[in-house]
Structure 1
Amino acid sequence: MRTTTLLLSLCFSITTLAQNYDFGKVSREELEEKQNPLDTSANATYLYKNRKTYLQYDQTQGFQLITDIHERIKIYNQDGFDYATRKVELHKSGSDEEKLSSLKANTFNLVDGKIEDTKLDKDGIFKTELSKYNNETTFTMPNIKEGSVIEYKYNIVSPFYWNVDDFVFQHAIPVKKLEASFETPEYFNFKLNTKGYLMVTPKVETKNDKITFTSKERSGRGGFGAASISTSFSTSSLDFMKTITSYNLSDIPALKDEPYVNNIANYRSAIQYELSYTKFPQSPLKYYSTTWEDVVKTIYDSPNFGSELDKTGYFEGDIDALISTISEPMARASLIFNFVKTKVKWNNYIGKYTEVGVRKAYKDQVGNVAEINLMLTAMLRHAGLNANPILVSTRQNGIPLFPTLDGYNYVISGIEIEQGVILLDASNKYSMPNILPTTALNWEGLIIRKNKSSSTISLYPNQPSRNTVTMMANLDRSGNIEGNYRSVKTNHDAMLYRAGYLETDKNQFLESLENKYNGMEVSDYEVVNDYNLSEPITESYKFSLESQADVIGDKLYFSPMFFLKTNENPFKLEKREFPVDFGYPSEIAFRILINLPEGYKIENMPEPAAVIMPDNLAEFKYFVSGNEKSIQLIVSTKVNAPIISPMYYDSLKEYFNKFIEKEAEQIILTKI
């Protein structure tokens, strides 16, 4: 047995050493592979990832950041087809922009025992302007089938040498072989930050290099009858040292998304390079963003941020008329907040900087997040409130672990009062004070005051969102139910419901509701306070649903929660390394009255129960009672913390198991 293992290991090593990663040299073995040998659940695998990023001097452009990409991907099944489309985001600022070039890409398939390749043509390449600051190039590989291998190469030339994209080592699919390097001349000092749970050890070396300069001189005289002009060239060079940091990894496991993770990228193994300072020959040191204080100053001093807060003339007349008869500060704040939400529509662009400016956004009644919330902040200040902008990183952008200008990509407004900070986001028409859109519920924000001082602010709400469900159900002898349902939602639950209900076709909304509960028939559907954001939103309807009790002989078996019970534990992994992020504390309470069919009596009912997590992070209570005509059920489930540490994962998993088991317990009715 030991000999066999050694032989297999030796064969694997020889195969690995013999693997050809030159572009286009896809092997028959790669095409014949049916699954990843180390992860049979993978829909695709990076067979090879290579990235080389380096700073290169151009005599006309100065230093530029060059990134060369080469990737080879095996697609096992249709679920892996998504990897046949590659999206590359390219930054821009004014006339400066990143450019993608030298793209070549092939799809390889095994057809009748022969390797056939299909080249990507221009029809598969699309260029899109995402915003004022970003373009996107997308290409979709041709002739994709189960078993295909795709391969592509391209490079990106960037004038923004200080903005190095993260070196990402871990993905949603496994990586068999990864090579990466970062080369920096001695004139640049980059700070290295690591994240993720995968151990990565770089190799660092230094080498000599040089920059060659070419100059051109002309001699001779022009004019009529003059001798011809001659041109001569001369070169000079500048010697320097460069640092090469390289990474060489094999068999990197997939980082698989899990329920209630705010952004899986926060936990992905990666290296971030942040430019600390530059020191060019015969030039002084120039420092970049090395501390949060530097970041705050750079952002605030931007003409698209701080100076926008000082512009007031465009709104003063409207705001003065709005609040002229109101002296109470928070009443003024409420009027201004609602005024901005109705006056200026969000154009679906996020960002911490303005694009067209607050004046134009106000005039045109449309703007991005920064224009709306910087405008709101300026108006609140004009009304005498201590309002300041708060930088936020959206969930999609991740958590800013290190000082970086790109760490924050969103801005809201905050009013500082004695009791704390009231958070406002006027870009979302369903938001309320301290009820931010879920994309902004991402750990902490950074409030920036007029004197450029700053401090962190928790973005998570202290008050729980509540959903109170009242249901009356009539159970018949066949196990069918019909009755009335009513739900009252507050805070974030109300905001999310309004967004789902008001932004959806009503017929489609009801169809989705009926499908959610496996063929329920809904009638008399009504929503109260759908646009009155200051009040809880109420949903009510009549329903009928078949086969909610099992009829066995002369007995009926059913869960008293019927279709409202939780059927599946979302936490299935044995171990979890990431925090569980519920977004906000919440509570759902059920009050259910069940009218029993005539001629039946209660034979058995579940016992009361309470399940509480350590440190009161979550709690579940269950109580049921009944008589000869009806059964009453009261159930409450609370999540008291928006984020639960992975150290409590086992307790959380067991908590869910217990309350799901309890909700599934059945009442038994017997014919009299």
Structure 2
Amino acid sequence: MKQITLLSLIAFFLVLTPAFAKKETFKYPAFTIPAELKKNANAVVRLDEAEFTVHSRKSSSLTQKMVITILNKKGEVYASIPFGYSKFETLESLKITIYNSLGIVIKKVKESEIKDYSYSSAGELIGDSRFKIYEPVQKQYPYTIEYESVSDYKGLFVYPSWKAYPGYLIGVEKSIMKVIIPSEEKLRYKCINFKDSISTTTINDQNIYQWGIDSLPALKSEAYSTGVLSQSPQILLAPLDFEMDNYPGSLESWNSLGKWSAVLNQGRDQIPEEEQAHILELTKDCQTDIEKVKILYEYMQSKTRYVGIQLGIGGWQSFPAEMVSEKGYGDCKALSNYMKSLLKVVHIPSNYTLVKAGESNNLQHTDFVHSYFNHVILRVPLQKDTIWLECTSQKMPFGYLGTFTDDRDVLCVNDDGGELCHTPLYTIEQNQQIQNGTFTLLENGNAHAEISTVYTGIQYENIETLYHRSSVDDQKKFLYEEHINLPDFTINDYHFQEDKKQIPSSVLSVNLDVRNYASQTGDRLFIPLNKINRITYIPPKLENRLTDIRYIRSTEDKDSICFILPEGYKIESLPEEKIIESDFGYYQSNAELVDSKVYYIRIFRKNKNTFNASRYEEFRSFRKELAKADKASLVLKKITKS
């Protein structure tokens, strides 16, 4: 007898059951997803279809259909999609339908079940941007969720671009984008990781562009990766000319985008006369411009706090300096403009600067003019130096940007327009972690430790949490749970101090009792030489590394530890000097006995760099060597009395 398969049973019921025979009741069955798209996937995009229509420079619309099959609980991250709306964007319709694994409708979501939230970020309190989102509660996998939406825009200079992958661990069955634009308007686009052609036609004085892609297997996140966007097919879209809230502009060049930003902020740099007099009094004894900038920056920090204000065109336009002076708060735009206005009082020019802040530290596509930006800082070009100011933080050291905005292309705005500049790249000599410690070992393997660590440059941020936690309990929680890499210890005392220079530094000193630091076997003690700054991570073995290997920043760690040995023991084994030299990094460690004490010295440095994906196994071998070297132990043997 022939074996009856699940597929044949489904076919049988489709023929015999009238309800199934209706085409509209049977959509997106999960069993039709090709096996190669389910490999490594928690979800699969069945269809991502978008049509963007430009009616004029002041009006456009987007019609979308997104269908996603959720394969397991981890795939739920892709089940909820936010749909934004604001003064410039209206969500005309949103329809959500859920299907079971066979493709049968099990739920048509009611409007009352869709939640409505205000967009918010750290400190943002005032805004007219909102979003709607539905959070499905399904206990049986797989299931499929279908979104159908229509949005209208009043003026737009950031067109909705296309990218094939929503993220990692999701396959893509079909993704299509169409753009319809009047013939007299120009669509600008840039293809990235997309080799197929874009079809173009003209119908009734409208240019129609269309592209798409089929059958993309899920991508897995890779250690030291350049990110999912470096692998995803994508197309950036932008107009040549645009108009937002009656402010016309052009994306012909970075200079023209800068001009538009400058016009938005014209006349918003007035400081009240009383405050002007105060500013002049504050800076009257300054001998240099840099002294004036520092005094005014710290004055601004003491007087203001960050509050996000995103009302209408305010998403791009700063609030007047006079308002910030009166209220004492503002968002990144308003605070940067206020600082710029303070400097203007003492005749120091500066540049309102648009930046893409966050982990990704470069625009990547400077050959395509587009609004990549999400933050504003201030550039102060002095005669002998250029000072960069982060104006939203009350604690940031003067002239220091940190990992949020370091080493990336930015758009500096002046009265004549804009120009691309680059924020500071902090060097390996600046990004130091220098650790000195003494471990006094006891016969039972316990130890008393006193450790002092200096952090400079980017590594200053390693203990940034301490700077912002005022209570002792919160500070200790950070040290116990996140910072000190020892298995079982008690903090007897600790203190830290900051030096808020342009290249800032801090010092953390801790006094600890460590239980079972050394392991005891018979008459021997095994003492790990490096437990407090040990390299343990080895990237996993991969069949085929897809992305290049990237070090985002250059850093150097220097450790110097003195071990005071317990009485009644002698050294049986002392590790030899270890040097690992590669373009992936440099490592050196050495242990030396001097007057019953062992001095352990360790250096590890790596330089900002990108390495070809083909060298991944070589990179893994390097990391294995590092991990092995950091496991080195000193072996003591108990002295037997004759």
Q: Which range, TM-score by smaller chain? A: 0.7 to 0.9
CA distance in 2, matches of 1:597, 1:314: 69
Letter in 1 for 2:136: M
Q: Residue by residue, what CA displacement relative to the aligned partner does 1:559-580 show, whole Å, maximum 9, x if unpaired?
A: 3002431111357656353462
Instruction: Look at both structures and tell me which one has the larger radius of gyration over its CA atoms.
Output: 1
How many residues of Structure 1 are paired with residues of Structure 2 in the alignment? 596
Deviation of 1:403 after TM superposition, in Å, equals 4.4
Preserved CA contact (<8 Å) 1:290 1:403 = no
SS of equivalent to 2:148:
strand
Q: Are 1:53 and 1:181, in contact at CA under 8 Å, matched by a contact in 2?
A: yes
Out of 348, 354, 358, the residue aligned to residue 395 of structure 1 is: 358
Does the alignment pair 1:297 with 2:290?
no
CA contact (8 A) 1:118 1:142 kept: no
2:566 aligned with 1:597, yes or no? Answer: yes
Distance in 2 between residues matched to 1:456 and 1:89, nearest whole Å: 32
Deviation at 1:129, TM superposition (A): 4.6
**What amino acid is aligned across from residue 124 of structure 1 in structure 2?**
I
**Residues 205-354 of structure 1: matches in 2 within 5 Å?**
205-206=201-202, 208=203, 240-260=204-224, 264-265=228-229, 268-277=232-241, 288-302=250-264, 305-309=265-269, 313=273, 315-348=275-308, 353-354=316-317
Letter in 2 for 1:458: T
Q: Summarize the Cα distance change of 1:423–1:56 in structure 2 as closer, same or farther, 3 Å threshold.
A: closer
Alpha carbons of 1:436 and 1:406: their partners in 2 closer, same or farther (altered >3 Å)? same
- Retained in 1: the 8 A contact 2:127–2:308? no
Among the aligned pairs, what percent are the same residue?
Answer: 14
Residue pair 1:132, 1:355 contacting (<8 A) in 2 also: no
Between the aligned partners of 1:141 and 1:418, the Cα distance in structure 2 is 59
CA distance in 2, matches of 1:158, 1:114: 34
The code of the aligned residue for 1:86 comes to I
Equivalence for 2:545: 575
TM (norm. structure 2) is 0.83
Which of residues 414, 417, 420 in structure 1 aligns to 2:382?
417
Using the TM superposition, give the Cα deviation of residue 346 of structure 1 relative to its aligned residue in structure 2, in angstroms: 1.3
Measured after TM superposition, the shift of residue 354 of structure 1 is: 4.2
Partner of residue 97 from structure 2, selected from 106, 119, 124: 106
Aligned to 2:12: none
Q: CA deviation at 1:132?
A: 4.3
Partners of 2:220 and 2:272 in 1: CA distance: 49
Q: Which amino acid is the alignment partner of residue 621 of structure 1? A: Q
Aligned to 1:166: 161
User: Tell me, what secondary structure is at the counterpart of 1:567?
Assistant: coil
Matched position secondary structure for 1:659:
helix
Distance 1:525 1:652 in 2: 40
2:624 to 654, 657, 664: 657
Paired residue type of 1:166: S
- For normalisation by structure 1, the TM-score amounts to 0.79
CA distance in 1, matches of 2:604, 2:345: 44
Q: How has the CA–CA distance of structure 1 residues 660 and 81 changed in structure 2, closer, same or farther, with 3 Å as cutoff?
A: same
Matches within 5 A, 1:171-210: 171-172=166-167, 173-195=170-192, 197-206=193-202, 208=203
Q: Which segment drifts farther, 197-206 or 77-86?
A: 197-206
1:460 is matched with 425
1:156 aligns with 2:151: yes
Are residues 37 and 269 of structure 1, via their aligned partners in 2, closer, same or farther at CA, if it must alter by over 3 Å? Answer: closer
Please name the residue that 1:479 is paired with: 445
Deviation at 1:504, TM superposition (A): 7.0
Deviation string 1:25-72 (CA, Å, 9 cap, x unpaired) is 4354449x7x95445332222122222222348xxxx96322122122
For residues 179 and 100 of structure 2, what CA distance do their matches in structure 1 show? Answer: 33
- Code of the residue aligned with 2:209 in structure 1: it is T
Q: Does 2:88 align with 1:123? A: no
Deviation, structure 1 residue 306: 4.1
Letter in 1 for 2:378: S
Question: Unpaired runs of 5+ in structure 1?
Answer: 1-19, 209-239, 279-285
Bigger mean CA offset, 47-56 vs 648-657: 648-657
Q: Do the aligned partners of 1:314 and 1:359 also contact (CA within 8 Å) in 2?
A: no
Secondary structure at 1:529 match in 2: strand
- Relative contact order, higher structure (CA 8 A, sep 6+): 2
Q: Which of 372, 379, 389 lines up with 2:342 in the alignment? A: 379
Alignment of 1:623-634 (within 5 A): 623-627=590-594, 629-634=596-601
For the pair 1:67 / 2:62, whether they are aligned, the reply is yes
Q: CA deviation at 1:288?
A: 2.7
CA contact (8 A) 1:107 1:143 kept: no
Please provide the CA RMSD for this pair: 3.5
Deviation at 1:484, TM superposition (A): 1.7
2:206 counterpart letter in structure 1: K
- C-alpha change, 1:158 and 1:452, in structure 2 (3 Å) is closer
- The answer as to 2:417 corresponding to 1:448 is no
CA contact (8 A) 2:26 2:105 kept: no
Question: Does 458-467 or 259-268 show the bigger shift?
Answer: 259-268
Q: CA deviation at 1:598?
A: 2.6
Partner deviation per Cα, 1:237-277 (whole Å, 9 max, x = no partner):
xxx23232222322213344444567644654211121125
Whether the 8 Å CA contact 2:577–2:589 is kept in 1: the answer is: yes
Cα separation, 2, equivalents of 1:500 and 1:24: 58
* Structure 2 counterpart of 1:607: 576
Partners of 1:393 and 1:442 within 8 A in 2: no
- Greater mean deviation of Cα atoms: 70-79 or 533-542: 533-542
* 1:171–1:255 Cα contact (<8 Å) kept: no
Contact 1:108–1:149 (CA under 8 A) maintained in structure 2: yes
Q: Deviations over 1:266-323 (max 9, x none)?
A: 6542111211259xxxxxxx98312112111111111xx3433465646312211211
- SS of aligned partner of 1:85: coil
User: 584, 588, 592: which is aligned to 1:621?
Assistant: 588
CA 1:458/1:84 → structure 2, altered by over 3 Å: closer, same or farther?
same
Letter in 1 for 2:419: S
